[in-house]
Each structure stands twice: as structure tokens, then as C-alpha cells.
Chains A and B, each alone.
Chain A
Amino acid sequence: MGNRYTKRTFVLEIIGIVIGLIFLIPFYFVLVNSVKPFAAILIDAAAWPKEFMFSNYAKVWEIINFPRAFWNSLVITVFSNIGLVIISSMAAWKMVRTPGKFSKILFVIFVSAMVIPFQTVMIPLMKVGGTLGLTNSIPGLIIMYFGFGVPLSLFLYHGFVKTVPIEIEESAMIDGCSQFGVFWRIVFPLLKPITVTVIILNTLWIWNDYLLPLLVLQDAELRTIPLAASSFFAQYTKQWDMGLAALVLGITPIIIFFLFLQKHIIKGIASGSIK
């Protein structure tokens, strides 16, 4: 509101810092205790560790096969993103550029599907997935993410395409450029801001998703990070020394992703939600 740094702003600043620190306390607890031996956690979880013990990490790294889980999560997230960007941007562009009843109805169906909770679809989906050979396979899971991700991605692209001027496309079309050529060479580069938003939203969702991979992937080899973590906790209940190391490993990749791209992420979240 005010632009000058007043006494009031100073007080607000202090309040903000205090709340910020409170917000970070859980991370303090997790980090500090992940390098303590089990007995030390039981005595005092709040204390600074007397010595830093990294054997917890080494053990967990092996048990949950962290490199494997990380790789699986990465493959699933990357390929789901690529596919979603391609199919949703193409569909959205064509639908906007072909006004008419059909496109309009199609759009309404896509968008209203966003209200359907995952739990409503999941039970028969497992039957469909089994019939089509999509279960217990990473490509199968990626195909399912295509289906679940399309409504939001298409919705965002649809809104954005409307703001792209049509004149350039028309002149290219007259010059003999094919529809695919026009789309990929001229339109798609113009969609970059919304593509960034779409990728960010889908990445945060797919990377952290738990229930769909839980239902689809059965082999230990195929586990994503959330699956590896939950199966670890199911086996080693209350063994917090290793459990916390597993959690730190689990959250590190996505936090690094966020810290590197935070400007885009926060902008993307804001624009993605407001549209």
C-alpha cells in the first residue's frame, strides 16, 4: 500500500520474519534429525546434532533404490509433459481457429471434466488399463497422465490462443504453408509463456502424484519417489533415523527445481489459476 519504509513497515517486517521462521521449523526438525542416531532423536528431537552421521542416508539410498526411483519419476514427468504440451496445444489452437458449435461443445466437455474427482474414475480405469495393457508399465502410466492432464492444459492453451493475432497465420497460409507448418513454425513459438505455465503445473502435479502410480505400478523396479517413500514407511515404521533421511532425499529434487525456477513457477501458478 504505502511505498515509504515507515515504522509500521518495520513492524510488519519483523512479524513476517517471525512467521517465516515458524514456517520453516518443520524443515529444521527433519534435517537436523536425519543425521542423528536413533537414540539421540528419542532423547531430544529439537537439539542440534552432536555429530553429523550420514550413514542413515547411505542405508536409505540403498533400501529405497533412490537412483531408480528418481529416474522413474523423471521419465514419467518429462514424457507426460512433452505429450501433454503437444496434444493440448494442437487441439486448443485448432478448436479456437475453427469456431462453431462442435468446437464449443467439445470445449465445454473438456472443461467440465475437471470437476470429476480422480476417485470417481479410478476403479473402472484399472479395468480399462488392464484391457489395454497400460498397467504395471511406465509408458502406460504416461498415457494415463495424457488423459488426466488434457483438460487443464487444453483450457490454458485455449485461453491463450485467443490472444494470439490471426493475421500472421493467414498470410503464411496464403504463402502455401501447411496447417502443421503454420502451427509448429509460427504459432507454437508464440505460445511459449503459456507452455511454461502448463509444464510447471503438470510437473508439480505428476512428480508428487501418489494414488495413480500406486494403482498402476506394482513392480518395485518401477516405483516413483512417493511410492518408494511410502513403501519404505510401511516397512520401517517409527524408524525415524532412516525415515527422515528418506524424506530429505524425497523432497530435495523438487525443492531444487522450485528454487531454480521459482520466478517462473510463482508467475505460472498465478496466471494458471486466474485464467
Chain B
Amino acid sequence: MKESDYTVRVVIRVEPKIQTGPVSPDVQMKAVTKKKFKYKSLLTYAAFVGPALLFFLVIQILPFLMGVYYSFTSWNGVSSVVEWVGFENYKKIFTDDKTFFNSFMFTTKFMFAAVIISNLIGFGFALLLNAALKTRNILRTVFFIPNVIGGLLLGFIWQFIFVKGFASLGNMTDIGFFKMPWLGDETTAFWGIVIVFAWQISGYMMVIYVAALQGVDNSLLEAARIDGASNWTLLTKIIIPLILPAFTICFFLTISMAFKIFDLNISLTGGGPFNSTQSVAINIYQEAFQNNRYGLGTAKSILFFVVVAVFTTIQVMVTKKKEVQA
């Protein structure tokens, strides 16, 4: 709906632009100045858009296209001879690379757990803050703080919490949860990363959900309440359908953040124990910069791009469809 709104506005705006062009009674003169005018406006267009476009093309698009090419080669990053190997790298990834497959499975599982949990918590926080609490502003700050700290430092912080902090809490309270071998085996390492991710991201999601909740018309809720609707019905039948766009955004953000996880992963578990928590991003990084197999690394990174693109597009399509129905 927004898009069509803009196009209408754009069409209206075209007219004055044309009128500001020089108008000359002489037809030939008109043609010349018109050409000059066009040339000049092209130049200013280039002056305004050029810098952004140049940096963007050189830093992102050129390497991206080169990556597509290198993924069909045996490039090792050092030698100048780059040998074309066709689909060899891709074949290898699909048939003969168990670590990549495992890291892919880990990342997918992690994504589902992380997206669900951080959105549940974030939405819960938003509902909580939407009530007329006295401590609302302080709580908002507290819930949001972890988000301003980068994933790398957070991972180190939580490594300490899991290993030393939880052990102390376990001794103090005798609660089994704290006495588990945190980060020491596959399961606790997996959930460890999920916990830290949720701790970092839910405040962010909360901010988006709060903004959406503030847009919900209070009189609508009052009317429903007078009609005898319970809080649960209000939530599921009115509030959630009304703020579905916020869910689209939050799911989009968390899916792409979780799928691309790197910093937090590398500082919290380093991919261990036994590569069980190695994300795809880490796998690609190591393939290229530690094993020096750049060709194979780029092939993986292209697959990674395709998966991220497909995941996020499907998700946006599905939730958008729901928005329309609602």
C-alpha cells in the first residue's frame, strides 16, 4: 500500500520538473538548450549519486561477482594462477564435507530456537512495558542495554558467567540448572548460545513491538472489553492481528541475525566442543582464511547467500500474506 502511495506522489511531481526547463520560442535554440540542460542535469545526478554508487559497487557488488566466479575455481588466495574447476567445489560441499553439513544443521536449529525465544521474550517485555508501570523507563533501559554491546564482548562476558558464575550460583542455591556442565557438551553449548543471543536481541525486539503496540487504538480494546472479551482474546484476536507488520520485521531481523551469527559464537564457544556449535559463518571463515581454500570458501559463501536470501524472502512473503488476510 505504501509503495503505490509513493508512485502516485512521484507522478504528480514530474510536472513542475519539466516546467522548470528552459522554454525558448526558437525551435532550434530550444533543442540545443534542452540538450545542454539534459547534459548538465546528468552531471549533477552523477555528482550526487556517484560517490555512494562507486563505494557500493567496489566494496560490495564487485567482490560479490568475483565470488561467484571464484566459486568455480581452485583459488588459494596466494598463487596468481586460478584454475577453473567447474562445479567441483559445489560437488565437494554436497558430497564430501561433513563439517559444513553439520554447521549448516547447527545454524538452522539455532535459528529456529533463537528466533522463537527472542521474539517471545521481546514481545512479552513489550506487553509488560505497555502496562502503566512506574518503572517502565528504567526497565526499558535495562532490557535494551545488552543490545548496545557487541557480540564479541558479550560472548566473552557470558563465557565467564556460564563457567564461573553458574558454578557459584549452583553451589549457593543447589539448583540443578546451574550445575550442568555449561558450554562443556553439545546441548549446553547450543542452549548457551541461544540464551546469550536472546539476552542480546530481545530488548531490540521489545523496542519494535512497543512502537507497534502504541499504535493500537485504545478505544477498540475498551469496546471489546465492554463486550466481555478476556485479556487473552484481546491479545490473540485484536492486538496481535493489528501489529502483524511488527512481527514481519522482527522475524526478518532475527532470522537474518541468527543465521549469520559469528562474533558471539566465536567468543562464547569458538565452535566447540568438537565443532558441534560451529556456525556456517565460522565454517566459511575457517575454510578461507585458515585452510587457505578460497575457492571452496567462496562456493560455500555463495550457497550461504542463496539460503539466506531464500529464507528471508519466504518469511517475508508468508507473514505479508498473513497481514493481508488480517
- A-B contact number at CB 8 A: 285
Does the CB pair B169–A16 fall under 8 Å? no
Q: Which candidate, B85-93, B144-152, B181-189, is the interface stretch facing chain A?
A: B144-152
When chains A and B are docked, how far (Å) is the Cα of A2 from the Cα of B218? Answer: 9
State in angstroms the CA–CA spacing of A271 and B246 once bound together.
12
Please tell me if the beta carbons of B143 and A20 are within 8 angstroms of each other in the complex.
yes
**Which residues of A pack against B, CB within 8 Å?**
1-5, 8-9, 12-13, 15-17, 19-20, 23-26, 29-30, 33, 41-42, 44-47, 86-88, 90-91, 93-95, 97-99, 106, 109-110, 113, 115-128, 132, 143-144, 146-148, 150-151, 154, 162, 166, 170, 173-174, 179-180, 183, 204, 207-211, 215, 226, 229-230, 233, 240, 243-244, 247, 250-251, 254-255, 257-259, 262, 265-266, 269-271, 273-274
- In addition to A91-B49, A274-B245, 12 A-B residue pairs with Cβ atoms within 8 Å of each other are A3-B132, A9-B131, A12-B128, A12-B131, A20-B142, A113-B61, A115-B312, A211-B262, A251-B153, A258-B148, A273-B208, A273-B253
Query: Which of the residues B55, B143, B312 comes within 8 Å of A146, measured between beta carbons?
Result: B55
Determine the chain B residues whose CB is within 8 A of the CB of A215 once the complex forms: 289
- Whether a CB of chain A sits under 8 angstroms from the CB of B191 is no
| A262–chain B nearest beta-carbon distance, Å | 6
A262 with B141, Cβ < 8 A, contacts A95-B49, A150-B56, A226-B152 known: yes
Interface residues, chain B, CB within 8 Å of chain A?
6, 9-11, 13-14, 16-17, 20, 41, 44-45, 47-49, 51-53, 55-56, 58-64, 66-67, 70, 77, 125, 128-135, 138-153, 156-158, 160-161, 164-165, 167-169, 171-172, 199, 204, 207-208, 210-212, 218, 221, 234, 245-246, 249, 253, 256, 259-260, 262-263, 267, 280-281, 284-285, 288-289, 294, 297-298, 301-302, 304-305, 308-309, 312
Q: Lowest 9 CB-CB distances: which A-B pairs, in order? A: A147-B59, A208-B150, A94-B48, A91-B52, A124-B66, A124-B63, A46-B168, A146-B55, A270-B211
Between-chain CB contacts (< 8 Å), 12 pairs: A46-B172, A91-B49, A91-B52, A119-B304, A126-B77, A143-B55, A148-B60, A166-B13, A215-B289, A262-B141, A273-B207, A274-B245
Find A266's partner among B144, B259, B280, B288 (CB 8 Å cutoff). B144
Q: A117 contacts B260, CB within 8 Å?
A: yes
